[in-house]
Amino acid sequence: MKLVKVANQVSIKRSVEVGTKEQRDTVKNIIKNVRARKQEAVMAYTKQFDGVLLESLLVSSQEIEAAYREMDPNMITVIQEAAQNIRSYHEQQRQTSWMMTEQNGTILGQKITPLSSVGIYIPGGTASYPSSVLMNAIPAQIAGVRRIVMVSPPDQNGKLPASVLVAASEVGIKEIYKVGGAQAIASLAYGIEGIKPVDKIVGPGNIFVALAKREVFGDVDIDMIAGPSEIVVLADESAQVNEVAADLLSQAEHDERSSSILVTPSESFAHKIAAEVKKQIADLPRKDIVEKSIRNFGRIYVTRTMDEAIEVVNELAPEHLEIMTEQPVEILGRIKHAGAIFIGRFSSEPVGDYFAGTNHVLPTNGTARFSSPLSIDDFQKKSSVVIYSEVAFRKHAHKIAAFARLEGLEAHARAIEERMK
Amino acid sequence: MKLVKVANQVSIKRSVEVGTKEQRDTVKNIIKNVRARKQEAVMAYTKQFDGVLLESLLVSSQEIEAAYREMDPNMITVIQEAAQNIRSYHEQQRQTSWMMTEQNGTILGQKITPLSSVGIYIPGGTASYPSSVLMNAIPAQIAGVRRIVMVSPPDQNGKLPASVLVAASEVGIKEIYKVGGAQAIASLAYGIEGIKPVDKIVGPGNIFVALAKREVFGDVDIDMIAGPSEIVVLADESAQVNEVAADLLSQAEHDERSSSILVTPSESFAHKIAAEVKKQIADLPRKDIVEKSIRNFGRIYVTRTMDEAIEVVNELAPEHLEIMTEQPVEILGRIKHAGAIFIGRFSSEPVGDYFAGTNHVLPTNGTARFSSPLSIDDFQKKSSVVIYSEVAFRKHAHKIAAFARLEGLEAHARAIEERMK
């Protein structure tokens, strides 16, 4: 890992998924065709990209039952327990509609309404991501979204992974379609025979999915376009070298472009971590990815003091922050920007990725400066409510009309004055 | 106004600001130049586009004092009263950090942190928009944003409107710069000599501002890209014809592309409104704009029943909704999508635009299906917090490692197991 003594220059190497011109054109073309020829186009793309000619996109109850039989029962229990933890945490995020009443009869309020329908994209390919199903679906459910649809690309046998189907079934998703890529995003945004359009699309995906989400944004809402994942560990000599190194490596296995960063005021600790990272890499199954990620994006920032280290963390605004210092809890109040903050030795990032209950969909690329973890806020919207009383109106009408005229909007002023006639 | 008997097809004509290729290229070029040559470029663009060679971008305290002398004292009082109302309403939106503690020692939480810095764009040109200053700055202030910067293009004498300066001063904005257009957005996003970059840019603007915001998005956050404004009035024969017509016209004066829409179950009422709109248009100062807007985007949807009318409103998902029916309050619970809901005869839209206290920055173009009014939520972000206890860790470690392996992420599993050694 590259060791950097900090003066002023710190950064997470940003990389945003804008794709090549060819990829963007491909995506635009797929969306156009799906809008024009609907299911016919989707079936053709599924044959082309996923290598399977499906009879039906909808996952049947038989397929769900088969998935349960296929799964290790212990893993089903783990998924259920994780789902329960995620539910408990996100239930705390509930907000309620409120109103303020005035003596003169006026009522002002804020009404909270769930989104009507949401689509969740779950990537396919070689891996399966049941945890993503839980993390995206449960907040939508708690927010009160009535219709939650899941889409995921089928394998060459026309199947979805058992773990993904079980996770979806555990959180009560009824509508699951075997469709992936830009054609899935287009189907969700504009509808095809058998799939009604949704109001928002969430969930991770490859470059084609990311570009398609960008393309349909505005017609429907989307969640963030996630960049590569990052971890920053803030640690001093009280931390366990093997644990810090292992946490850095767990981030690096996601993607060659993932960033694993240590910030520490101890140069000797920094050297120990660098050596331990090297040692642990040796027998990791995803060694190639990990090595590239560590070489290109791995950093150890050595600062003069802990105060300076905290400043560096705030500059980085990481997606994941682990604090493993002598007094980690005392540092929490000084963290300005981070998607998720893991405090102390036993709060290893995978605890939050899978099980503790917090969401693993987090702002990447330094956007923790202004963005939040996925939450039930993403699945509700607010309306302001004005019930203005006659007493209030008669008292303030002339001021409102004057304000409108100050801005040159005469028809606004007259709308008020028509009521004074 | 075009009268349509509703069967199935209803829509607000959408129009999104994507600009021409030339406009997009111009904006990209301006941003590039401001990033490269900074203040020098900004001064040159201000000369070119605003026709004035400024000595300093920063508004001086002398200019603020002059603005106060120039303003009608009564209008200062109105601005102060409006600001107070906006403050009272938005204070209700405060959220607090929370935690949940478990018997085994684990603590999970959600920490709320204000954005560090925000830039507010206020359009210039012929009109002045003090209300936009209040609506954008006050929620940021209540959210706890420490640094709020305002930018607005100067007139040919190098001045900003007195009303805008007074509004900014009333809400305590200290940093005000005379710069507009794409060069203002670039300055806020990337910084120039004398203007440090901000984390988020909000506020309305012309096509160049909208395109520039789109361009810098990701490096900084932005609010929504607002489309043309819309009003939907849901009314029956109990409503006053002159008032409904005046409200429709107040929307139409904003922009030729504004939409003014009446939804009613009464055909005779529909005809009365159409006639009254025609009559009231005659002597409006912005008659040309109003006529074009009404001709192209004005609609009266006549339904068979009030139930059907409510469905139409939900299909339209309007920015502004006025309900002027016999029992307007009873309808509130049935409105699924609307930015702001104005109930009853005295809740004319300008009441909310200027004075009641709710925000006038609202989701346009049907995005009320998934977006909310500007609120303090836009100026805060959340971090999840995990303090996992040793007891909890030892109990669940094997499940977490198993879940990671189910997804093929071995290094995640090992990060857990390193702590069990």
Instruction: Please give the residue of chain A at the shortest CA–CA distance from B393.
Output: A346
Q: Which of A122-136, A212-226, B47-61, B189-203 has the lowest mean pLDDT?
A: A212-226
Q: Inter-chain contact A351–B409, Cβ cutoff 8 Å?
A: no
**3-state secondary structure at position A382:** strand
**Which residue carries 């069967």 as its tokens?**
B7
Confidence band, pLDDT 50/70/90 cuts, at residue B8: low
Question: Residue B50: pLDDT above 80?
Answer: yes
Residues of B in contact with A126 (CB under 8 A): 408
**3-state secondary structure at position B107:** strand
Query: Which residues of chain A fall short of a pLDDT of 70?
Result: 7-17
Q: What is the pLDDT of residue B346?
A: 97
pLDDT tens for A356-366 read: 999 999 999 88
CA distance B313 to B232: 7
pLDDT tens for A1-36 read: 877 777 556 665 555 567 889 999 999 999 999 999
For A174, residues 6+ apart whose C-beta sits below 8 A from its C-beta are: none
Q: What is the pLDDT of residue A14?
A: 58
Domains of chain B: 2-16+227-356 (3.40.50.1980), 21-98+114-222 (3.40.50.1980), 388-418 (no CATH)
Q: How many CB atoms lie within 10 A of CB A207?
A: 15
Find out whether B59 and B178 touch, Cβ atoms under 8 Å: yes
In DSSP terms, A320 is beta-bridged to A231, A340
Which residue of the set B170, B175, B315, B319 is catalytic?
B319
CA distance B303 to B316: 14
Q: What is the pLDDT of residue B254?
A: 86
Q: Tally the C-alpha atoms within 13 A of residue A124's C-alpha that lie toward its C-beta.
A: 24
- Partner A contacted by B224 (CB < 8 A): no
Residues of A in contact with B409 (CB under 8 A): 250, 253-254, 350
Q: What is the pLDDT of residue A125?
A: 73
Confidence band, pLDDT 50/70/90 cuts, at residue B328: very high
Find out whether A338 and A317 touch, Cβ atoms under 8 Å: yes
Instruction: Please give the residue of chain B at the shortest CA–CA distance from A128.
Output: B407
Structure ipTM: 0.94
Question: Residue B194: pLDDT above 70?
Answer: yes
- Partner B contacted by A353 (CB < 8 A): yes
Strands A200-202 and A221-222: parallel
Q: What is the DSSP letter of A50?
A: I
Assess whether B319 carries a catalytic annotation.
yes
Please give the mean pLDDT across all residues of chain B.
93
Q: Which of A412, A417, A420, A421 to mutate to probe the B interface, most B CBs <10 Å?
A: A412
Q: Which residue has the higher pLDDT, B336 or B5?
A: B336
Confidence band, pLDDT 50/70/90 cuts, at residue B257: confident
Question: Residue B17: pLDDT above 70?
Answer: no
Q: What is the pLDDT of residue A219?
A: 86
Minimal Cβ distance to A415: which of B74, B348, B365: B348
**3-state secondary structure at position A292:** helix
User: What tokens does A4 get?
Assistant: 């950097």
Strand ranges (DSSP E) for A162-258? 175-178, 200-202, 221-222, 230-235
**Which residue carries 């993607």 as its tokens?**
A255
CA distance B234 to B328: 9
